[in-house]
Amino acid sequence: MRYHDTRCNKYMATVVLRAIVDIVIDGVGGEVFSEAPATLAPGGSLTTLGYSAGRKTTIDVTDLIWKQASIRGFILFAQPQAAWADAWNVIVPLLRSGAIKPIVAKTFPLAEAADALRYLVEGRPFGRVILTI
C-alpha cells in the first residue's frame, strides 16, 4: 500500500485497513502501525521494519489477544550474509529484466542536494529520491 502523509494514513485507516489479512508488513510506524493489528486475521502476524512516521504508537492489545496474533520486528542489517546473497541473486535479475522497477519520486542534480534533502524531510515522498552526477 502506498501512503506517505497523515491525510493518507487516516484514509487508509478508515477505508483500506478494514480488510482482514494474514500478514501486515509495516515500514512506516506511528499512526499506521497502531491501526494495523485491527486488520489481522486470527493467527495473523504483524512485522514492523520502519518508523518514518514515528517511533512510538499505541495499539489495542485485544486485537492481538483475541486473534492470537503476533508482532515482530525485522532489521535487514542483522540478517546473515547468505540471506543477503540469496536476496540479491533473486532481485538483480528482476531489476535487469524490468520485471520490477524502483519507484522514483523525484530526481535532483547533485548540486541541488540540499533541496533533495529538504524534499525528503518536508514532502515525505513515496518512492526514491535520486541525486544525479
CATH architecture under which domain 6-77 falls: 3-Layer(aba) Sandwich (3.40)
Domain boundaries, the chain: 6-77, 81-126
End-to-end CA distance of the chain: 31
**pLDDT above 70: residue 21:** yes
> 28 falls in which pLDDT band (50, 70, 90)?
confident
Residue 107 CA to residue 128 CA, distance in Å, equals: 9
Quote the Cα angle for 45-91-27, to 5°. Answer: 35
The predicted-structure confidence for 72-107, as pLDDT tens digits, reads as follows: 998 888 889 999 899 899 999 999 999 988 888 899
Q: Which residues contact 70 (CB under 8 A, 6 or more apart)?
A: 44, 45, 46, 64
Residue 42 CA to residue 40 CA, distance in Å, equals: 7
pTM: 0.57
